[in-house]
Amino acid sequence: MPQITVDYSAPLAEGFDRRGFALAVHDAAVEIAAAKYEACKTQFRATEDTTVGRDEGGHAIVHVTVGLLAGRTDETKARLTEAVLQALRAHVKPAAGLALHASAEVRDLDASYRKFDA
């Protein structure tokens, strides 16, 4: 915890400082949500196909999901969501000719969440 997943349109790869973004989100999670650095884990998944509305293209998407153990207030989750969006603004440069649609959510992990380290 936190489990951070970033889905992004593949054409953004060259202009997306993924490591810088992950470190910024880890800093925010520690500062805002009392996470521990060693518990912050971020995965990036590039997607090949993106459709927005009925357009023929010209769009790119980044969506970030942050899963936290239950117990944070709605205010804490909202502050962390805003910090994630700020980090996206700083670390994603939209590809030429593409409109960027960026979003984020912070949610509670399900009570069934378990982990192990090997």
Q: What is the average pLDDT across 18-36?
A: 98
Residue 9, in any domain of the structure: yes
* CATH code of 34's domain: 3.30.429.10
The C-alpha atoms of residue 109 and residue 86 are separated, in whole angstroms, by 23
Element (H or E) spanning 3, and its range?
strand 3-9
Predicted pLDDT of residue 117: 84
Structural domain count of the chain:
1
Residue 116: inside a domain: no
Contact, 88 vs 102, CB < 8 A? yes
What is the pTM (predicted TM-score) of this model? 0.93
Tell me what pLDDT residue 56 has.
77
Side-by-side strand order, sheet with 59-68? 41-47, 3-9, 59-68, 99-108
Per-residue pLDDT reduced to its tens digit, 56-98? 789 999 999 999 999 999 999 999 999 999 999 999 998 889 9
- 106 pLDDT above the threshold of 90: yes
CA distance 112 to 96: 43
113 in any annotated domain:
no
Tokens of 70: 């239950």
Domain carrying residue 48: 3-108
> Residue 55 pLDDT more than 80?
no
What does the mean pLDDT of the chain come to? 95
CB neighbours of 103 closer than 8 A, spacing ≥ 6?
Answer: 61, 62, 63, 64, 85
* DSSP code, position 71: T
Q: Report the pLDDT averaged over residues 8-31.
A: 97
Residue 51: is its pLDDT beyond 90? no
In a domain, 104, yes or no: yes
